[in-house]
Structures are given as C-alpha cells and as structure tokens.
Chains A and B, each alone.
Chain A
Amino acid sequence: MASHKESIIREPLITGKNITYAQITDDVLRPVENKPNKAWWIGFTFASLGACLWVFAVSWTFWYGIGSWGLNKTVGWAWDITGFVWWVGIGHAGTLISAVLLLFRQKWRNSINRSAEAMTIFAVICAATYVVSHMGRPWMALYCLPLPNQYGSLWVNFNSPLIWDVFAISTYFSVSLVFWYTGLLPDIATIRDRGTGWYRRIYSVLSFGWTGSVKTWQRFETVSLILAGISTPLVLSVHTIVSMDFATSLEPGWHTTIFPPYFVAGAIFSGFAMVQTLLLVTRKVLGLENYITMFHIESMNKIILVTGSVVGVAYITEFFIAYYSGGEYEQYTFLNRFIGPYWWAACMMYGCNVLMTQVMWFKKVRTNIPMSWVLSIIVNIGMWFERFVIIVTSLHRDYIPSSWAMFYPTWIDVSVFIGSIGVFFTLFLLFIRVLPSIAMAEVKLLLKEQSEQAKLEEIKAGHLDPEQVKFYKNSLKKFDSVDVSVYENV
C-alpha cells in the first residue's frame, strides 16, 4: 500500500536481513528470557559495590552529621547540590526522547525511548536521595510537606524555590513513572504470553491483563500522546525550577535570569550524553545493533552538538551580561571563575562542554562509536563541573570578603557521589534483565516501512529515482550493522 511507503532517501531505522515481527520479539527479549552473560555480571558486581558504598557513606553522614562533609559557613552547598542538579539534568533526556520526539513524530525515538525513560526514573531517584541526605536533620524531612503539625499548624513556605523543587521533582518522578509503565504494558503482555509457570504469573500480574484489542490500543495511543503533550512542558518546568534555586537567590553568579533556558539546555545536553553512554554499551552487550543503529547514534550526537552549542552561547551571554551590568560583585564573581583559586574547575567546565563537543561537527566523529562514547563521558564530566562551578565558585567568594573561604571535599563527599552512580547503574542493570529494554510494539511499527529490508525490496522492485537510490546506498556506508555488498548487484 502506497500509504506507508516513505521516501527512499531516509535512512533505515531497523537494519539486518529477514527481520520478522517474531524476530524482533526474540531479539529484544533475549536478555529477559535467558541467563545473564558474563559482561552483565561484571557490570552488576561493580555497580552493586558502588551502591553499598553509597549506603555506607550516607549512613555515616546521618550518624555523625553533615559536618563529615567538607562544607563550611561560607560554602553551604557543594557536592551535594552539584550531584542533585547533575542527576536531575541527566534524567531529562528520557522524558525528552519519549515525549518531545513523539510530538515531533521522530520515529527513531521508538527504539531508544524505553531505556531512556528508565534512565530518567533512576536518575531522578539518585537526585532525590541527595535532596534528603543534604539536610541537616533528614529525619525531619517531612517538614517540607504541607502536613498539619504540632506547630499549630505551621505550613510550608511556597515562596521558597526548595518547596517548588519538592513539588516539581515529585511530580516529575511520578508522571515519568506512569508514562513509562503505561508504555511497558503491551511488552509485559508479550513476555507473559511467551512465558510459563511462576514467570508467567508474575508478568501476568504486571501486565494488568493487557490484551491488545483495538479499543485498548486506541486509548493507549491517546494516553501516550497526551502524556507526551503534558510531559513536555513538565520536563522544561522541572529544570527551570531547579535553576530557580539559584536564579531567585541573591548570590552573584546565581542571580541570573538566563538560568532557566540555560539549565534546560544543559539538562538535555547531559541527558543525551548519558543515554549515549548507556546505549552504546547496551546495544553491544545485548546485541541490539539492528535496532539501535548508527542512525540513532548520529542523531543523538547531533542533539548533543546542538545543545552543547546552546550551552556555550549561554556561557558567553553570562559573561557579557556580567560585564555589561556593571555590577561589581557580579563582575568579580565571573572574573573569579578564571583568575580565582577554582580556575581549573572552570576550565573543565568550558573545555568539556563547549570546546570538546565542537568536534562533533565532523561526520567521522559523529559516526565513530568509540569516540562518541568517550565524548559522551567527557560531557558528563563537564556538566558535573558546570554545576560545581556555579555552586561553589559563586559561593566561596561573594559579597563580604572577610567570609571568603575555600571548599575541600572529604572522602565522604566523594563516596556519596560515586555511590550514587553505583545506585544508578545497579538499577539500570536490573532493569535490562527483567524488562524489555526496547519498546517492541513501537519498533514493530517501523518494520514495514523504515526497515532496511523493506527499502531493499523497494529498490529491487525498481521504478525509483536512481539518484535517490545512490544517495541512499551511500548513507548506508556508515552503518556498522549493514553489509553494503548486498547493494552492489541491485
């Protein structure tokens, strides 16, 4: 049917020969239905060790007090809020991929949105742990909720960005969870119908009794569309609000109106980097090259490049405004980033985020898997330093010179951070064991039109503009999962 033939010049989203619907199911469910391989075990061991470190470091903090961190009277936030913002930022990519790209009808999202959303949820969990653990009296954390209390009743301060945070983060987390799980239902049903015994029972419970009847699918699609519709402003709002923790304050270097867009861009930036980091490994380990193709990798690299440049512009704007404002404190703060004692942190920030990512203008880099992976790591590092510079470098020298001080992390600071990474990967590795890391139903949608084999058929069938065919063949060269030889004879 002509209706769903798409232009030949578009690159395929599924590669590999004679892929069938069954084939897709088998490929995606292989890790779920079989014993984990060695690679997984190694990864899981390290990750869970990290998680243990986290438990230890946080317990230590709770037992002895926040004093076991390196903070002082001048620098009241450092690695804690840095980590918090970093994780929240990373989380944003998931929602963005599943929601915004859905609205934009970017079909390539279908094969990565599942794991990206999972990543969102785990990242937000990590962020949330910081929210609690950075408190002086975490056992009083409930005071941050508007609950009736013995103070008669004393409510919370809705003027405080921290309260906005509480609402934003909790909303963001729960909405993402719903979005993610709704999307999972049909795939869980698939597992259920292929499984047997207790295995089937568990998934049967999880599947909510999904059948895949027409009406269900219709409502399902409406729900996903609307959820995407409201998640999009949500995801923007969340990092806007996070940025307001700083933007609404008085600190030079924090008190900056550009923060909301700048933070959101940064969030997407770091988020895609993290997705890249994870998927490049996952597709190898789980052998999903046919579904997460070079096209996906390059597309994500392009987004990283764009957002990276946006962030770069934001940096420049910041400096210009600091200079242009004429505010002496503002000016000093930004000067201090370079000539102050934390100049090296600033170098990491600007170097990793702006300079390094610029090499992605070259297709060779974008389509080179090892380089993409290294770059994605570099971006993650750079974005961590961005938050560190904004928080610590601004705080440590603000208005009253007599209070100027340095911040030195303790081993607890470090452990909590490394630990949170451990927690994240533990959760992610468990996820790819028990749930399909690719949205099967959505990928199946692509099989008939966007798959390489479909396009090959078309070419075989002929009556296509040879120019376009040639172009298409060239575009296939970069794919590591396509053998181009097939195309010579046709």
Chain B
Amino acid sequence: MSSTKYILGLFDDPDEMMHGIDKLQKNSIPIYDVYTPMPIHGIEAKLGIKDSRLGYAAFMFGCLGGTTILSMVYYFLGYDWPMNIGGKIHFALPDYIPVTFEWSVLFASFGMAFTFFYSTHLFPGRAPRVMDLRATNDRFVIAIDAKGNTPHEDITNLLKEAGAVEIKHNDRKYVSYE
C-alpha cells in the first residue's frame, strides 16, 4: 500500500478538466473536490452540489434591518421624547423611509457576507487548505481521495487520457506553509 493520500489531476484548460470529471464519474471514481482559479459554470451540477441558500439569508437580514431601524425611530421620536419639529407630526413616516431602506440594505449585505464567510470557513488568518499552489493561478485541479480501492494507476491513466498536463500523488493532504 503506497503512502499516497490524494491524487491530483492538473489541467490547463477548464473544458478538458470537465472531460476529466466525466471520465472519472463514468468509471465511478469519487471526486474529492475541484480547485480552480476561476468559477467554472455547470460544474456544481456535475458534482451534484446543491444551490446556495444565501439568498434567503440575505432576505431575512434585510427584513430584520428594516424593522430594527423603524422601531428605533418610533421609540426615539414617537415614544421616548416626542417633539414638535417644524410643526410636523411626531411620527412622520415618509421621512423615515430613507433610513429604513438604508438599514435593510446594510443588514442584508453584511448578514449575507458574514454567513458566507462563516459557512465557507473564511476568516482572516485561517490557514489555507491548498492542495496545489497553482490552483489559484492557471491550473484546474481535480482532487481524488486515494483511499478508494481503485488502483492508482487506473486513475492516473484516466486523467492522462482526459488531458491532464500533470498528475501528482500527494502523501500529504495540503501543501503546508512552514
């Protein structure tokens, strides 16, 4: 048994990488993950990844923001200390639309962004789990967990046929930063 943990297929062209994915799937070889320097459309379908639900989050946060500010304003000017401002009524709703809108947007965007960071474990200083350094530059990397019972040579060959420019047998999961 070799010490190989992961097998990486490095492609220099997204289309060929897609071929590779098809080939592997045809041979029912499980794909651990794919790393690309840019978003590849249609890949999530291939790998059967569910649509993101961040939209709902955004909407919820938006509603929260709107209600928060509006109730604040009501408390301030309508309840806590009502005043005669230029003869206007205490709770002059039309005047409060701008701020309500602004805070809806504020909450929506921040809420969503932070949900995104949270769910994808992105935060300042997180050690990057990188399998190949060129995956953020010009390589399209298919990572296969070597622990499958498929012989590694077959996988290597499959990737070769698919047009991988390089195939790596990594003993470590991530390129460590020391």
Contact = CB atoms under 8 A, between A and B. Distances in A.
Whether A and B are associated in the same complex: the answer reads yes
Interface stretch (B1-9, B22-30, B111-119, B152-160): B111-119
Contacts of B12: 20-21
Contact of B98 (A152, A168, A200, A221): A168
27 contacts: A21-B138, A155-B80, A178-B109, A189-B136, A190-B137, A193-B134, A194-B133, A200-B177, A208-B124, A209-B128, A210-B122, A211-B130, A214-B33, A214-B34, A215-B44, A215-B49, A217-B36, A217-B40, A222-B54, A222-B116, A223-B116, A230-B58, A230-B105, A244-B98, A441-B38, A445-B38, A448-B14
Interface residues of A, number: 67
A211 B102 contact: no
B137 A21 contact: yes
Contacts of A227: 109, 112-113
A234 interface: yes
B106 A209 contact: no
Contact of A214 (B44, B76, B85, B129): B44
Interface in A202-253: 204-223, 226-227, 230-231, 233-234, 237, 241, 244
A27 interface: no
Q: Is the interface of A mostly helix, strand, loop or mixed?
A: helix
B151 interface: no
Contacts of B77: 155, 157-158
Given A167-B99, A207-B128, A154 B81 contact: yes
Given A193-B134, A445-B38, A218 B44 contact: yes
Given A157-B85, A158-B95, A208-B122, A186 B136 contact: yes
Interface of A: 1, 20-22, 25, 146, 152-159, 163-164, 167-168, 171, 174-175, 178-179, 182, 185-186, 189-190, 192-194, 200, 204-223, 226-227, 230-231, 233-234, 237, 241, 244, 440-442, 444-445, 448
Given A153-B80, A219-B119, A230-B109, A22 B136 contact: no
Interface in B100-154: 101-103, 105-106, 108-110, 112-113, 116-117, 119-131, 133-138
A208 B136 CA distance: 14
B55 to A, nearest CB: 6
B52 A218 contact: yes
Interface in B61-81: 62, 69, 72-73, 76-77, 80-81
